[in-house]
């Protein structure tokens, strides 16, 4: 009777695991996850001393436009493993815009036991066309080296250098020879080549009750990367930690772990920790006052650990003479598997580096307008009656929202693509009622498929062999919300296409075109798996081990789901898919959120650096659960979270099902008013946000930015992650403590800033101690900018489409300002064919001019809008003018004092041009008389 006993044990284990997941009072237990010392490849790499690497570069030449070389040990040791002295193959490629690509792999002609995994479908296809075909290589002895170095052109200002002995790769400035980024300057490079297993050798690794068979043995890679003229490094999400990365090793650092990149389902994660959580983007950015910004990206989906070295870490050990630099930050990159496929980005500005990185991995997708508005979610809205009550209550209290979400309880027994027909008997009608108000619904679809022969998805996946296999070749069986579950092998393009087809109206019975999707648990989460995820020796399409692609599993799942929604709409409807797991390139497929946070002030605080870090690594469309997923927030914390969350790119409230209900009207009349005001701020700023999403879509520059991205020469901004920029025009400072009466706000730059609520001017370049009230958090508009608003209150963003605009002009010391506005149909892909409005507003010499930025050509689509400019607000203009002239019509319009915020009618009276009689899509000039 072994099978029944096994089932009973698994059932009891599931109850235990579910208890851990459901209990909101239990916190993260670090002993359930591996640390570096329990991770052999990390422990080995950290134990190596500077100068460990003995490789030299031989046979350097130009081949197919690349610099190629062989890496071999300088003096092979007769006792050394013969498999580890085989030559490695190096290829160095140059691309437009100062991008260098370095690839190092085993020599396939020498017959390694298997091909090492190279991550597919992350680099955008068009990147290949930007390759610069290298024609020649020059050789020179540099810095007194006995051996030569090979030098190739990278861009007008930079050249790449391969040092032969000892092996090193770096990029330097042509004009002065100063280094920008280097690899293996400390001699920590190591590449464990695949080999045959010897008799009696034990390759297995054990952690807690799990055994990893490791059939291909050790295959890790590690190397050091140095950033020159750097004051700070940033990036490598996802961690609940400061925006500027703290040292993890060296003088003054005790018992710190490396930053871990390994996608895990970590409920109630702790803040201020280098522990990896739901996503992994192995992209680091350095920034310093003297030179600027550079970046390094390693395309590798295996587990990675990264050390940031403290100053002086190698002084006592290193015999390698590095070029003298005032400031250099050294890092150590360690991965369990894969190849070296690394990209060096030269900048030199912060936005340049982000643009260069997104030219490789893709710019963020342009969202639908509704997705940039407010989302209402909890686990779970009980039934159709609950949905209807929540929806009507928002209307009753004049609180706008755009999307209502349903978590796992809406399904029939956790079978995705189904409905519990007792609780949700008429799903199409329910969605239709929301759609009639311009609203949408989102349902959850996770990757774990219930192993139930009567469930059509499981039945089809089983018959077609579409599941990930275990190490023995059977369909992998793990435990998640439905109980016994299997997981689609989403690495396969065929299986991704099959998964995408599941979202058609015909296949997803009960869905409608206004329904969009949420991918949760896609790390993937496996309750009874090692570290709550899939075993590393599970097998994917092409014989790829799970260890090799783990961090990209959720990325492929996100991709396939987004493709499914595009297919559903015949390629006409932009998808909206929220994903918890992330990887490089996730930005092309939808939004992300920071996972299962807690209703604590510290989690409110850490949400800002988490979102900033996601933004600079390509993922603009991100947010944190407003109010905290776990726990019950006090009203003050909830209000402050709404006030901050209104500026997140992705603005959603969400809560665990064990928490008390926390819709905006459940905390008393005054708190309802404060939450409504916060949501109204977001809706009024939607035209500005949507314009920023388009900027991200075209350039990669994030919607929400760290201060140093806009003020790269101001050292006071480099480590400031309490405040952030929304675009280039608004700065926001959160309130992170209860009962706060004052806030210290640093306002960067030489120009003034105008209080977003009152219009009061504050000088830039200094810290202001400001009184704060419960009404709002500090937010300011930058002098010299123009932002677009829509001030009418509606039920949803969809109902605001034809509303008039307000332009808020914040004049600088030269009495000038400029800004942009982007408008399209908010839903289709027609904008890719020219169907949009893009205007630049310029105020100078007493005139406001609207200039067309949209490119037009014959055959392109067109988009027009009848929306007009209702008000033009002038901040910082001297009092006195009574009228203005619309030069196109030669008509005078009145200038009067009016409220900065029309609907609230409070705050300072400001100079206002009322009803200037111009349309948003036209060329026009208005002159102050």
Question: Which residue numbers are catalytic?
Answer: 520, 523, 596
User: What 8-state DSSP symbol labels residue 387?
Assistant: H
Is the distance from CB of 373 to CB of 796 less than 8 angstroms? yes
Burial of 652 (0-12, 13-18, 19+ CB in 10 A): buried
How many CB atoms lie under 10 A from the CB of residue 138? 11
Instruction: Output the DSSP codes for 150-188.
Output: EEEEEETTEEEEEETTTTEEEEEETTT--EEEEESTTS-
Task: Select from 43, 45, 34, 119 the least CA-distant residue to 333.
Answer: 45
Q: What does the alpha-carbon distance between residue 884 and residue 398 come to, in Å, rounded to a whole number?
A: 35
Task: Select from 726, 748, 756, 746 the least CA-distant residue to 875.
Answer: 756
List, in sequence order, every residue forming a beta bridge with 285; answer none if it has no partner: 234, 295
Tokens of 76: 């092979």
Instruction: Output the DSSP codes for 410-479.
Output: GSBTTBTT---TTT-S-HHHHHHHHHTTT-EEEEE--S-EE--TTSHHHHHHHHHT-BPB-TTSSBP-EE
Residue 821 CB-half CA count within 13 A: 29
Cβ-Cβ contacts under 8 Å for 94 (sequence gap 6 or more): 100, 101, 131, 132, 134, 152, 153, 154, 155, 160
How many CB atoms lie under 10 A from the CB of residue 409? 17
With residues binned 3-state (H G I as helix, E B as strand, rest as coil), the percentages for the chain, rounded to 5, are 25, 30, 50
Task: Select from 78, 87, 95 the least CA-distant residue to 112.
Answer: 87
Instruction: Output the DSSP codes for 856-912.
Output: --TT--------BEEEEEEESPPS---EEEETTTTEEEEEEEEEEETTTTEEEEEEE
Task: Select from 449, 46, 30 the least CA-distant residue to 277.
Answer: 30
Q: What does the alpha-carbon distance between residue 736 and residue 605 come to, in Å, rounded to a whole number?
A: 6
Tokens of 898: 């009016």
Q: What does the alpha-carbon distance between residue 906 and residue 519 come to, in Å, rounded to a whole number?
A: 42
CA quadruple 520, 523, 524, 529: dihedral sign:
negative
Burial of 428 (0-12, 13-18, 19+ CB in 10 A): middle
Tokens of 390: 């929540």
Tokens of 338: 């894969």
Strand 259-261 vs strand 232-235: parallel, antiparallel, or unpaired? unpaired
User: What 8-state DSSP symbol labels residue 395?
Assistant: H
Please identify which residue in the block is written with the tokens 């460990």: 52
Residue 870 CB-half CA count within 13 A: 14
Strand 622-623 vs strand 591-593: parallel, antiparallel, or unpaired? parallel
How many CB atoms lie under 10 A from the CB of residue 288? 22
Q: What does the alpha-carbon distance between residue 44 and residue 610 come to, in Å, rounded to a whole number?
A: 30
Listed as own residue / partner, the contacts of 483-487 with beta carbons closer than 8 Å and 24 or more positions apart are 483/14, 483/414, 483/450, 483/451, 484/10, 484/450, 484/451, 485/448, 485/449, 485/450, 485/451, 485/526, 486/448, 486/449, 486/451, 486/458, 486/461, 486/462, 487/447, 487/448, 487/449, 487/524, 487/534
Task: Select from 144, 137, 132 the least CA-distant residue to 161.
Answer: 137
Tokens of 168: 């090193």
């Amino acid at each position: 009777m072994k099978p029944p006993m096994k089932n009973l044990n698994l059932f009891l284990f599931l109850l235990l695991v579910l208890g851990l997941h459901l209990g909101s009072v239990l916190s993260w237990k670090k002993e359930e996850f591996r640390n570096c010392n329990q991770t052999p490849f990390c422990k080995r790499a950290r134990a190596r001393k500077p100068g460990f690497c003995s490789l030299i570069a031989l046979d350097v030449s130009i081949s197919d436009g690349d610099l190629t070389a062989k890496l071999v040990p300088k003096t092979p040791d007769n006792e050394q493993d013969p498999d580890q002295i085989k030559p490695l193959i190096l290829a160095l490629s140059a691309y437009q815009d100062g991008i260098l690509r370095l690839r190092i792999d085993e020599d396939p002609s020498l017959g390694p036991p298997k091909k090492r995994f190279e991550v597919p479908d992350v680099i955008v296809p068009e990147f290949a066309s930007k390759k610069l075909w290298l024609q020649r290589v020059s050789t020179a002895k540099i810095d007194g080296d006995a051996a030569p170095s090979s030098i190739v052109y990278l861009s007008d200002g930079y050249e790449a250098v391969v040092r032969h002995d000892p092996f090193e790769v770096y990029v330097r400035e042509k004009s002065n020879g100063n280094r920008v980024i280097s690899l293996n300057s400390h001699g920590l490079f190591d590449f464990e080549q695949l080999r045959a297993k010897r008799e009696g050798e034990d390759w297995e690794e054990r952690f807690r009750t799990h055994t990893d068979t490791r059939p291909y043995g050790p295959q890790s890679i590690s190397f050091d990367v140095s950033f020159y003229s750097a004051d700070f490094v940033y990036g490598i999400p996802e961690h609940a930690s400061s925006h500027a990365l703290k040292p993890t090793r060296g003088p003054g650092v005790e018992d710190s772990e490396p930053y871990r990149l390994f996608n895990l389902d970590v409920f109630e994660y702790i803040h201020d920790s280098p522990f990896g959580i739901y996503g992994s983007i192995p992209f680091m950015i350095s920034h310093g006052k003297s030179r600027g910004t550079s970046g390094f990206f390693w395309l590798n989906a295996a587990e990675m650990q990264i050390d940031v070295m403290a100053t002086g870490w190698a002084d006592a050990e290193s015999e390698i003479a590095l070029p003298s630099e005032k400031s250099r930050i050294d890092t150590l990159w360690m991965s369990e598997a894969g190849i070296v496929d690394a990209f060096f980005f030269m900048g030199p500005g912060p936005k340049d580096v982000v643009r260069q990185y997104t030219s490789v991995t893709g710019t963020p997708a342009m969202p639908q307008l509704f997705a940039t508005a407010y989302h209402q979610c909890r686990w779970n809205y009980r039934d159709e009656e609950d949905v209807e009550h929540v929806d009507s209550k928002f209307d009753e209290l004049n609180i706008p929202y755009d999307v209502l979400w349903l978590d796992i309880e809406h399904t029939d027994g956790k079978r995705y693509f189904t409905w519990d027909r007792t609780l949700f008997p008429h799903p199409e009608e329910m969605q239709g009622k929301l759609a009639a108000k311009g609203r949408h619904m989102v349902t959850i679809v996770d990757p774990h498929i219930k192993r139930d022969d009567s469930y059509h998805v499981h039945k089809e996946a089983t018959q077609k062999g579409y599941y990930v296999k275990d190490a023995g070749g059977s369909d992998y069986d793990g435990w998640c919300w439905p109980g016994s579950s299997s997981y689609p092998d989403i690495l396969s393009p065929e299986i991704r296409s099959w998964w995408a087809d599941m979202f058609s109206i015909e296949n997803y019975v009960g869905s409608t075109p206004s329904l969009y999707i949420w991918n949760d648990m896609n790390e993937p989460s496996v309750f009874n798996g090692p570290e709550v995820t899939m075993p590393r020796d599970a097998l994917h399409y092409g014989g790829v081990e799970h260890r090799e692609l783990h961090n990209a599993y959720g990325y492929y799942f996100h991709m396939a789901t987004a493709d499914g929604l595009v297919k559903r709409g015949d390629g006409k409807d932009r998808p909206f898919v929220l994903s918890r797991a992330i990887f490089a390139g996730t930005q092309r497929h939808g939004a992300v959120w920071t996972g299962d946070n807690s209703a604590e002030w510290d989690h409110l605080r850490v949400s800002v650096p988490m979102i900033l870090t996601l933004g600079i690594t390509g993922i603009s469309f991100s947010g944190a659960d407003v109010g905290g997923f776990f726990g019950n927030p006090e009203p003050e914390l909830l209000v402050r979270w709404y006030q901050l969350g209104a500026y997140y790119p992705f603005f959603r409230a969400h809560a665990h099902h064990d928490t008390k209900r926390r819709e905006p009207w459940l905390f008393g009349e005054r708190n309802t008013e404060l939450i409504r005001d916060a949501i109204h701020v977001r809706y009024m700023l939607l035209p500005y946000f949507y314009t920023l999403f388009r900027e991200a879509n075209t350039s990669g520059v994030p919607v929400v930015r760290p201060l140093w991205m806009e003020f790269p020469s101001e050292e006071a901004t480099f480590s400031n992650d309490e405040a952030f920029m929304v675009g280039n025009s608004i700065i926001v400072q959160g309130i992170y403590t209860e009962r706060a009466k004052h806030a210290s706000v640093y306002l960067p730059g030489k120009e003034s800033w105008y209080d977003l609520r009152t219009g009061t001017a504050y000088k830039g370049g200094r810290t202001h101690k400001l009184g704060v009230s419960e009404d709002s958090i500090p937010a300011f508009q930058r002098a010299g900018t123009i932002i677009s608003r829509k001030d009418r209150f509606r039920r949803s963003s969809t109902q605001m489409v034809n509303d008039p605009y307000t332009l808020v002009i914040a004049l600088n010391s030269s009495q000038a300002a400029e800004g942009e506005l982007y408008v399209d149909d908010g839903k289709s892909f027609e904008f890719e064919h020219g169907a949009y409005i893009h205007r630049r507003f310029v105020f100078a010499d007493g005139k406001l001019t609207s200039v067309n930025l949209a490119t037009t050509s014959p055959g392109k689509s067109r988009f027009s809008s009848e929306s007009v400019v209702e008000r033009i607000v002038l901040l910082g203009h001297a009092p006195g003018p009574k009228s203005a002239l619309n030069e196109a019509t030669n008509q005078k319009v009145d200038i009067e004092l009016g409220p900065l915020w029309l609907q609230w009618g409070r705050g300072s009276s400001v100079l206002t041009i009322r009803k200037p009689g111009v349309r948003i899509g036209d060329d026009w000039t208005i002159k102050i008389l």
